[in-house]
Structure 1
Amino acid sequence: MPPAVATAVHVATLARKAGRPIPPKVYAVLEAAANPWPAEWLLAPLPGDPIRVVELFAGPGGWSEGIATVLGVVVDSVGVDLSKDACATARAAGHRRICVDITTLDPEHIALRYVRGLIISPPCPSFSPAGKHTGQEQANILTLCRVLAQCSEAGGFLPGNELDDWCEGCDVCDELGYHDGYAPRSGLSWDDLRAQLAPLTDARIGLMAEVLFWGFGLQAAGAPLEFIAMEQSARLPEQILDDIRLELRGGQGEGEWAATTYKILEASEFGLASRRERVFFLATRRYVSLPTPSPEITKTTMAQALGWGEGERINTRGVRPIDPKTGRPKGGNEFSADQPSNCLTGKARTWKRVSDGLRLTIQEGGLLVGFLPSYIWEGSRTSVFQQEADVVPPIMAAAVLSEVLGVPWKPRVRDYTDQLYRMNDFLDPDADDFDTVA
């Protein structure tokens, strides 16, 4: 740390402990050194301060709302996302955002040395059915996994005893410290590893490696990281999940993250009024289980969520040719609202209620993915529906993080969904809340 910054940290810390404001000139030094992170993150937390959390690919606020609104937990969180509209949506709800490509940031930034939680939701089109399935191609998987396998050593967290199976106490390894705790850092930077991802046919596949770049990078910065939570398409190949898990566990289960687990969860089983199947991954210092559906949580249909009567149907794809064998439109372009809705995609902006032709509104889309009617969505209709399609539902964020944050999720989710789906008086079915260009 440069001497001027160290002095500013010292003065600011004394001011905080005395309950006084940080002098403006001192704060300016901190702000410049911490950029783009909060200036206060250069200072050690004081007793009673909330834990610091970094959210990557943070979007419009699903994880943030799950923590703050559903669980009611106060954390000192900063999210990073490339979408200006998603960042604007999150900021309107009071969540801090840095609008930038996360691959341009340094996981070992000095301002991150007190971070205790990492949340990351890499883009999923490369793996999901809605994409081109490039993430399922074996050549891409092997390229990604070769990089994943180098991450613990790049960060300095490769257990030295991994080499014991083929090398027992030779002089060279003993001198280098390979048989005493962790092997020395390999010398590869996170940007060096990112460069190795260049052969991928879809650059978004390589963003999965950021889970380990930031997990090990934060630790290398000195961060007392306690948990890593990740969400991704349910179609994410198990080879990738297992390799991430293997690297965190140190191969023989003796690494920094001996307790790692993942599970596919379906959101409508947790009370959401739309289907959304995703894989959630959780790494912790102690064993923590991922949630399972509970009979205490009432399932909600689309019609119930939106205050509609029974018997309504949704048209998702306009007029389709009729199949002569079934007498029904080809392509499955309708579904009943008397069940949880289909999973929202960006194309949900074209959904119409069959009985009257009214299009699904932005506010209704937000309700279906678990956001209160008061949530302010920023951007065009097309942009907002894409945000709603990509977001982690707050109730799922709450359920996944409940154990690591020490708050039971079932009563909180039950209360939240009761409130969420009984606020239909706030909905204006005649509101024209979208652009004329879909």
Structure 2
Amino acid sequence: MRLLPPAVQTAIHVATLARKAGLPIPPKVLAVLKAAADPWPPEWLLAPLPGDPIRVVELFAGPGGWSEGIAVVLGGRVDAVGVDLFADACATARAAGHRRICIDITTLDPEHPALRYVRGVIISPPCPSFSPAGKHSGREQANIDILCRVLAQTSEAGGFCTPEDCDYWCGEGCDDLEVCEELGYHDGYAPRSGLTWDDLRAQLAPLTDARIGLMAEVLIWAFGLQAGGAPLEFIAMEQSSRLPQQIIDDIRLELRGGEQTGEWYFAEHKILEASEFGLASRRERLFFLAARFGRTLPSPSDIPVTTMAEALGWGTGERINTRGVRPIDPATGRAKGGNEFSADKPSNCLTGKARTWKRVSDGQRLTTGEAGLLVGFRPSYPWQGSRTSAFQQAADVVSPVMAAAVLSAALGIPWKARVLDYEDQLYRLNDYLDVDDYDTVA
């Protein structure tokens, strides 16, 4: 853990006394804290007081799917800060009341002193390199090998590799704790390898698509936060369902330790389909959860199916045109390429091109509010940016419903009743609620 300058330590002490007394932090003290904590909240330099919400970092946080899932669906008390580079997504999240830092995540230090009390990290790296809609460069073996070589070095870089797993030697029969400490041995772990997080990031330069390398941030931040002293309790991740098995296996192996007995032994992944959790659109994603204690990812059961028509308040029999007028196949009488689907079932998975979807009966296009509704946001959610940008945000986002279900175990909040209640208000009451009413019931 890095030592803070004396002036910052003094500011933390004064600010802590003010907080305990129920007083505001003096302006001059707050200025010192802001400078030291940048870009993180200045109050995060202070230790939490009893009753404070837990601190969570959201990386690649987007417009607020994880944030809404925690705060609105689960009703959890979490002090969360999200980080993302997409300005429109950050603007959307802020307009919805969620904190965002708009910056390149790879320029940040996971051992920043302001992160010493973070207890959860949520990571959703961009998935085009792995998804069917992308160019599949993330599935090329040469790129996988480069990424996995970096993943394999993260626990040693953070100082969380056992001596048995990494050729470090403290001397035969060594029982001198002071010598071991001087050499860097700690809590049963070998010394840090000496590689910095930026050193590891630099090794990803040969990748043919830089976005592939963002998967390394999962372990860079997991081990970096711990190395900085954070009492990390859970790590959650969302990614394309086509993420290569070798990558997910290497992430689990690094967290569990070579002997499979590491402190993150409880690490599992599962491919979950959003419509099976009651959402009005299909969306298959891989979710990963690692926790200090036994936690399991959710399984849907007895959850009503929501059709696109039900979600949007339409009658039955409507169809959606997704690709404009296309030639008719004489053998089937239907448009070639499959440019329509029925609204009497969950909609197709949204992509940025959903902005061109039309209702066949009248040519009406989806609104941004309707797109958000299909993926689990209230219709008044404040999407920012152009129509194209808003639809891309809705296509990329983690649904609040899925976020709630995945994080429920880590936060100790049962998910099913809350999800059903949220979806009831979101979808099945829209016949007699005005759009503004969702602000009070969602």
Do Structure 1 and Structure 2 share a fold, with TM-score over 0.5? yes
Structure 2 residue 254 is the aligned partner of structure 1 residue 247: yes
1:253 deviates by 1.6
Q: Map Cα deviations across residues 349-399 of structure 1 (whole Å, 9 max, x no partner).
A: 000000100001111001000001221111100000000000000000000
Pair 1:289-2:296 in alignment: yes
Counterpart of 1:21 (choices 21, 24, 42) is: 24
- Amino acid of the structure 1 residue aligned with 2:379: P
Among candidates 362, 368, 373, match of residue 367 of structure 1: 373
Cα RMSD (Å): 1.9
Taking the aligned partners of 2:108 and 2:79, their CA distance within structure 1 comes to 19
**Structure 2 equivalent of residue 426 of structure 1:** 434
Structure 1 counterpart of 2:281: 274
Offset at residue 163 of structure 1 (A): 4.8
- 189, 195, 208: which is aligned to 1:182? 189
Q: Quick check: 1:377 aligned with 2:387?
A: no
| Residues 342-421 of structure 1 aligned to structure 2 (within 5 Å) | 342-421=348-427
Per the TM alignment, residue 134 of structure 1 is displaced from its structure 2 partner at its CA by 0.4
8 A Cα contact 1:373 1:423, kept in partner: no
Q: Is 1:261 matched up with 2:264?
A: no
Task: Note the alpha carbon deviations across 1:42-72, whole angstroms, 9 max, x for none.
Answer: 0000000000000000000000000000000
**Residues 272 and 285 of structure 2 are in contact (CA less than 8 Å); yes or no, is this contact kept in structure 1?**
yes
Secondary structure at the residue paired with 1:126?
coil
* CA deviation after TM superposition for structure 1 residue 41, in Å: 0.2
Equivalent position to 1:323, from 329, 348, 352: 329
Structure 2: which amino acid aligns with 1:95? Answer: H
Report the equivalent of 1:434.
none
Aligned AA for 1:192? D
* 2:199 counterpart residue number: 192
Aligned length: 426
Residue 117 of structure 2 corresponds to residue 114 of structure 1: yes
Seen in structure 2, the aligned counterparts of structure 1 residues 167 and 77 have a Cα distance that, compared at 3 Å, is: closer
Deviation at 1:170, TM superposition (A): 4.6
* Unaligned segments of structure 1, at least 5 residues: 429-438
| Aligned-residue offset at 1:403 | 1.1
Pick aligned residue for 1:97 from 73, 89, 100? 100
Q: Report SS of the residue matched to 1:252.
A: coil
Query: Is the CA contact 1:161–1:178 (under 8 Å) kept in the aligned structure 2?
Result: no
Aligned-pair CA distance for 1:124: 0.4
Deviates more, 1:348-357 or 1:155-164: 155-164
Cα offset for 1:16? 0.7
Q: 1:433 is matched with which residue?
A: none
Contact persistence 1:373–1:426 (CA under 8 A): no
Distance 2:395 2:143 in 1: 25
Map Cα deviations across residues 405-438 of structure 1 (whole Å, 9 max, x no partner). Answer: 111101000000000012254359xxxxxxxxxx
Match of residue 39 from structure 1: 42
1:435 matched residue in structure 2: none
What SS is found at the alignment partner of 2:290?
strand
2:282–2:346 CA contact under 8 A, matched in 1: yes
1:226–1:285: 8 Å Cα contact kept in structure 2?
yes
The SS at the match of 1:325 is coil
* Matching residue of 2:439: none
Mapped partners of 2:187, 2:279: distance in 1 = 49
Question: C-alpha displacement at 1:130, in angstroms?
Answer: 0.6
Q: Secondary structure at the match of 2:69?
A: helix
Aligned to 1:56: 59
Contact residue 63 and residue 397 of structure 1 kept, 8 A: yes
Q: Distance in 2 between matches of 1:300 and 1:202?
A: 37
Task: Show structure 1 runs of 4+ deviating over 4 A.
Answer: 166-180
Task: Pick one of 318, 331, 337 that aligns with 2:343.
Answer: 337
CA contact (8 A) 2:380 2:435 kept: no
- Could you report, residue by residue, the CA deviation over 1:18-59 in whole angstroms, capped at 9, with x for unpaired residues? 111110000000011000000000000000000000000000
Cα separation, 1, equivalents of 2:341 and 2:186: 61
Whole-angstrom CA distance in 2 between matches of 1:180 and 1:71? 35
Change (3 A) 1:22 1:178: closer
Unaligned runs of 5+ in 2: 437-442
Distance 1:138 1:158 in 2: 26
CA distance in 2, matches of 1:401, 1:330: 42
Q: Deviations over 1:197-220 (max 9, x none)?
A: 011000000000000000000000
Equivalent pair of 2:256/2:267 in contact (CA under 8 Å): yes
Could you say which residue in structure 2 is the equivalent of 1:141? 144
Query: What is the identity, as a one-letter code, of the residue corresponding to 1:380?
Result: S
Q: Distance in 2 between matches of 1:111 and 1:303?
A: 47
Which residue of structure 2 aligns with residue 234 of structure 1? 241
Task: Answer whether contact 1:271 1:417 (CA < 8 A) is retained.
Answer: yes
Using the aligned pairs only, state the percent identity: 79
Whether the aligned pair in 1 keeps the contact of 2:265 and 2:292 (CA below 8 Å) is: yes
> Residue 162 of structure 1: CA displacement?
2.1
Q: Determine helix, strand or coil for the equivalent of 1:311.
A: coil
Partner SS for 1:219:
helix
Instruction: Return the offset for 1:172.
Output: 9.8
* Letter paired with 1:260: A
Q: How far apart are the structure 2 equivalents of 1:52 and 1:298?
A: 34
Which amino acid is 1:52 matched to?
Answer: R
Secondary structure of the corresponding residue to residue 403 of structure 2: helix
Q: Does 1:123 align with 2:126?
A: yes
Query: Which residue among 199, 203, 221 is the counterpart of 1:214?
Result: 221
SS at match of 1:374: coil
SS at match of 1:398: helix
Looking at structure 1, the residues matched to 278 and 263 of structure 2 have their Cα atoms a distance apart, in angstroms, of 35
